[in-house]
Structure 1
Amino acid sequence: MRKKNNSKKLTTKKIILSIVGALLTLILIFAGCIFYFLNKVNTVKIDKDNLGVNAEVAQKAKENKITNIALFGIDAPVGQNGRSDAIMVLSIDEKNGKLKLSSIMRDSYVDIPGRGKDKINHAYAFGGPELAIQTINNNFYLDIDKFMTVNFTTLPQIIDSIGGVTVNITEAETKYVPGVSAGTQKLNGAQALAYSRIRKDGGDQMRTERQRNVINSLFSTIVKTSPAKYPTLLSELLPLVKTNISSTEFLGLGKDIVDTGATKLIENRFPCDFHRQGKTIKGISYQVFDIFEEKEELHKFIFEN
Structure 2
Amino acid sequence: MRYERHQRKKKRKRIRWSSVFLILFLLVGAAVLYSYFQYRSGVNDSAKSAEQNQQEYHFDGERDANGLTNILLLGSDARGDENSRADTIMIASYNPDTGSYKLTSIMRDTYVDIPGYGKNKINAALALGGKNGGPELLRQTIKENFEVSLQYYAIVDFEGFVRLVDEAFPEGVEVNVEKRMSKGIGVTLEPGLQRLDGKHLLGYVRFRQDAVGDFGRVERQQNVIKEVGRQFASIQTLPKLPKLVGVVTPFINTNMDSGDILFMGKGLLSKDNRDIETMRIPVEGSFENQRVSAGAVLAIDLEANRQALKEFLSR
Q: TM-score range by the shorter chain?
A: 0.7 to 0.9
The CA deviation at 1:88 is 0.9
The match for 1:217 is: 227
Distance 1:192 1:248, change over 3 A: closer
**Which stretch shows the higher mean deviation, 103-112 or 184-193?**
184-193
Does the Cα contact within 8 Å between 1:167 and 1:184 map onto a contact in 2? yes
1:225 Cα shift? 3.5
Number of corresponding residues: 294
**Contact 1:103 1:269 (C-alpha < 8 Å) held by counterparts:** yes
Amino acid at match of 1:189: G
CA offsets 1:32-75 (integer angstroms, 9 cap, x no match): 55567399698956342xx5x5x8xx32x13xxx3322211112
Deviation at 1:236, TM superposition (A): 1.5
1:110-143 CA distances to partner (integer Å, 9 max, x unpaired)? 1222222211112122332222222211211001
Query: SS of 2:278's equivalent?
Result: strand
Structure 1 unmatched runs, 5+? none
Q: How much identity, in percent, do the aligned residues show?
A: 31
Structure 2 residue runs of 5 or longer lacking an equivalent are 48-52
Question: Does residue 235 of structure 2 align to residue 230 of structure 1?
Answer: no
Distance in 2 (CA, whole Å) between partners of 1:96 and 1:5 is 49
User: Alignment partner for residue 261 of structure 1, among 263, 266, 272?
Assistant: 272
Partner of residue 173 from structure 2, selected from 165, 178, 182? 165
Secondary structure at the counterpart of residue 168 of structure 1: strand
CA contact (8 A) 1:73 1:149 kept: yes
Per-residue displacement from partner, 1:152-196 (whole Å, max 9, x unpaired)?
233222221222322221125477774543232221111112112
Partners in 2 of 1:35 and 1:81 — Cα distance? 35
Is 1:99 the counterpart of 2:105? The answer is no
Root mean square deviation of aligned Cα: 3.1
Aligned to 1:46: 58
Separation in structure 2 between the aligned mates of residue 170 and residue 244 of structure 1, nearest angstrom: 37
Q: Which runs of structure 2 are paired with 1:1-305 in the superposition (5 Å)?
A: 1=1, 2-31=3-32, 34=35, 37=39, 46-48=58-60, 53=62, 58-59=64-65, 61-62=66-67, 66-77=68-79, 82-95=84-97, 98-127=100-129, 128-163=134-169, 164-173=172-181, 178=187, 180-201=189-210, 202-226=212-236, 227-254=238-265, 257=268, 261-282=272-293, 284-304=295-315
Shift of 1:105: 0.0
- Residue identity opposite 2:17 in structure 1: I
Q: What amino acid is aligned across from residue 226 of structure 2 in structure 1? A: N
> How big is the shift at 1:31?
4.0
Q: Distance in 1 between matches of 2:298 and 2:34?
A: 46
- Structure 1 pair 258/168, CA: closer, same or farther in 2 (3 Å)? closer
The alpha-carbon deviation at position 5 of structure 1 amounts to 3.8
Moved more, 286-295 or 37-46: 37-46
